[in-house]
Amino acid sequence: MPIHPLAGKKAPESMLVNVPELVSSYYTDEPKGPVAFGTSGHRGSSFEGTFNEHHIASISQAICDYRKMKAIQGPLFLGFDTHALSSPAFRTALEVFAGNDVETIIHKGDEFTPTPVISFLILEYNRKGQGGFADGVVITPSHNSPKDGGFKYNPPHGGPADVDVTRWIEDRANELMKGRNKGIHIKGLPYEKARNATTTHEQDFIGPFVEALSGVVDMDAIRSHGIRIGADPMGGAGVHFWGRIAERYGLNIEVVNGNVDPTFRFMTVDSDGVIRMDCSSPHAMAGLIAMAGMFDIAWGNDPDFDRHGIVCPDGLMKPNHYLSVAIWYLIQNRPMWEKEISIGKTLVSSSMIDRVVNGLGKRLYETPVGFKWFVHGLRDGSVAFGGEESAGASFLRMDGSVWTTDKDGFCMSLLSAEILAKTGKTPSELYREKLVPQFGDPFYERADGPVTDRQKSVLKDLKPGSIKASSLAGIPIDKVMTKAPGNDESIGGVKVILKDGSWLAIRPSGTEPKMKIYVESFGGKDLWQRIYDEAVPFIFGG
C-alpha cells in the first residue's frame, strides 16, 4: 500500500483536531447513526454524529437495565482515557449511573484509567467476595485518531463483553435513542449532583495495580540487572503509572514523553497520513525508535494501554515476532503453570506461534479476532496466554491464577525487560537466534483496503465449500476455514491455508469501514506478494 508523505513525521498544525468544536458537537449535534458495538465496544466521532451525548446516555442506561436484569449489584468501575471525547462521555455516563443508583467507583483525582486496570479491579473485587458482583466501563477508542470516542463494557468476568451481551446492550440503547423523541426519558442527575451522590466513590486505582504486578512479572530480575528502560505512554491513560512502578520496584525507567494533549500533537503520523496512536506501527512509533540506542529495551503503549510496542536497539519488533518470543519464554519460565494449559491466539496471528506451541508440547487454542474469546480460559487458568496479532495480549500470574481478562500493555511491556534480564538477549535477538533456525522465517503483513456491501455479504455467507479453486499462487490449498478451530465460532470471513504453511485471511474490520487482508508466506516476500495480488479476485471473483 502507498505510504503517505507525512508518515513518520510530526503532525502539522493543520492536521490537529479542533478540540472545542469536537466537544461542542458532542453536546449539540443530533445523532446521525445508531449505537453499534464492534469488536471493542461502540466507537465513532461527534463530528460524524456517531458518538455524542445521546449515544452515551443511551448506552449507559442500557447497561443499567442490563445490570438490573442480571442482578449485578456490586460496584461499577468507571474509567476513561486521554481522548478529547472521553471526558465528556465520562460525565454523561456518571450522570446516568448516579441517576440509576448504581454504585460507581472512579479513579481518585480524575486520573485516567487504562483498560487492564479496570479488568484487574473487577476481578480483585469479585475474588474477595465483598458483596455482589462488580463490572466496569472503559471510555476509550483505543489507538484510534484524536477525533474519535469509544465506550466499552466489561461484565463481572472482567474482560470484553461477549456478542450476546453487546447485542442486548446495543439493541436496548437504540430503543432508548428512538424513544427520546416519544417521551421516554433516561434517568440521570446533573453532573455535580452525580459526582457528589452517595453512590459515587473515589479510589486510587494505581496503587493496588502496581503492587500486584510483582506476581506477574519478575521485577527483582529487572531491577538486579539494571535494565535501562525507555517508556513512551504516547499521551495515554498510563502516563502516571510508570513513575509509580519505577519507584515501587526500583526500576530504571525513563518516561520519554509525559505529555497529555487531546490533539496528540506530539505524535508522528501513521502510514496513511492519519494521527493514530498505534504502538505496532513503525511510523507512529518513529520518535521512540529514534531513541532506541539510549536504552536496553523500550516500549510504547496506546491510549488505553491494552497494547504494546517493543523497541529493541535494532528497532521496533513486529507484533507477531514478540508474541512468539513471549510465548516461547513463558512456557519455559513459569514452572507453577499447569502442564495441561493452552496458548490462545487469533487465527490471523502468525503460524510461527503454532510452531512454537507445538514444539514445546502445549495445546493451541485458536479463535476468531477479538480478545473476548480468551476471557473464560484466562479466568479459570486453562488458557495461560491470550494474544492478538494487533499487539494485544495478557497472561496468567506466576502462580497460574488470573491476572487480567482484558489485554494488558503493562505486563507485556515489562515482560520484555524480564526476558532480557533472564536470558541476556533482547526479544529481537531471541527471535532471530532461537526461533527462526528451529521454526522457519515467515513473512507476514496485513493490508487494509475499502470494502463494499457486496463483499461484506459474500464474506458473511462464505462456507468452506464456496471456494472451488484447488490452488492459490501456484500452491495447493490444504484447508479452507470460516470457523475457528479452537471454539468453532465464525471468523466473519475466510482463512485459506496452503500446503507449504503459507496462508491468506480476509475479514471486514469490526471497528472501521474497511477490509483487512492478512497474508503470511513461508516462501519469502515474493510469494507473499503473489498471494496478496490474487487474494481479492480469488475470494470475490472478477
| Domain count for the chain | 3
Q: Specify if 12 maps to a domain.
A: no
Whether residue 360 is found in the same domain as residue 488: no
Q: Which of 404, 439, 474 is the last residue of a domain?
A: 439
The three-point CA angle 10-15-19 to 5° equals: 115
Whether residue 495 is found in the same domain as residue 514: yes
Per the DSSP assignment, residues forming a β-bridge with 456 are none
Is-contact 44 148, C-beta < 8 A?
A: yes
Whether residue 232 is found in the same domain as residue 110: no
Three-state DSSP class for residue 108: helix
- Could you read off the pLDDT of 176-226 as tens digits, one per residue? 999 865 556 799 999 999 999 999 999 999 999 999 999 999 999 999 999
Q: 142 catalytic, yes or no?
A: yes
Whether residue 413 is found in the same domain as residue 330: yes
Q: Which of 380, 408, 439 is the last residue of a domain?
A: 439
542 pLDDT exceeds 60? Answer: no
Whether residue 158 is found in the same domain as residue 127: yes
Listed residue (498, 500, 504) closest to 537, CA to CA: 504
The pTM for the full model equals 0.96
- Which bin fits 527, alpha (ψ -120 to 50), beta or left (φ > 0)? alpha
Whether residue 422 is found in the same domain as residue 448: no
Whether residue 355 is found in the same domain as residue 434: yes
CATH number assigned to the domain comprising residue 491: 3.30.310.50
Whether residue 285 is found in the same domain as residue 170: no
Whether residue 249 is found in the same domain as residue 374: yes
Catalytic residue among 25, 45, 142, 413: 142
373 pLDDT exceeds 70? Answer: yes
Expressed as residue numbers, the domain containing 167 is 17-208
CATH number assigned to the domain comprising residue 107: 3.40.120.10
- CA-based R_g, the chain, Å: 23
**Residue 174: other Cβ atoms inside 10 A:** 17
Whether residue 450 is found in the same domain as residue 425: no
494 pLDDT exceeds 60? Answer: yes
Whether residue 461 is found in the same domain as residue 449: yes
Q: Which of 385, 411, 439 is the last residue of a domain?
A: 439
Whether residue 195 is found in the same domain as residue 80: yes
- Could you read off the pLDDT of 140-173 as tens digits, one per residue? 999 999 999 999 999 999 999 999 999 999 999 9
- Could you read off the pLDDT of 250-283 as tens digits, one per residue? 999 999 999 999 999 999 999 999 999 999 999 9
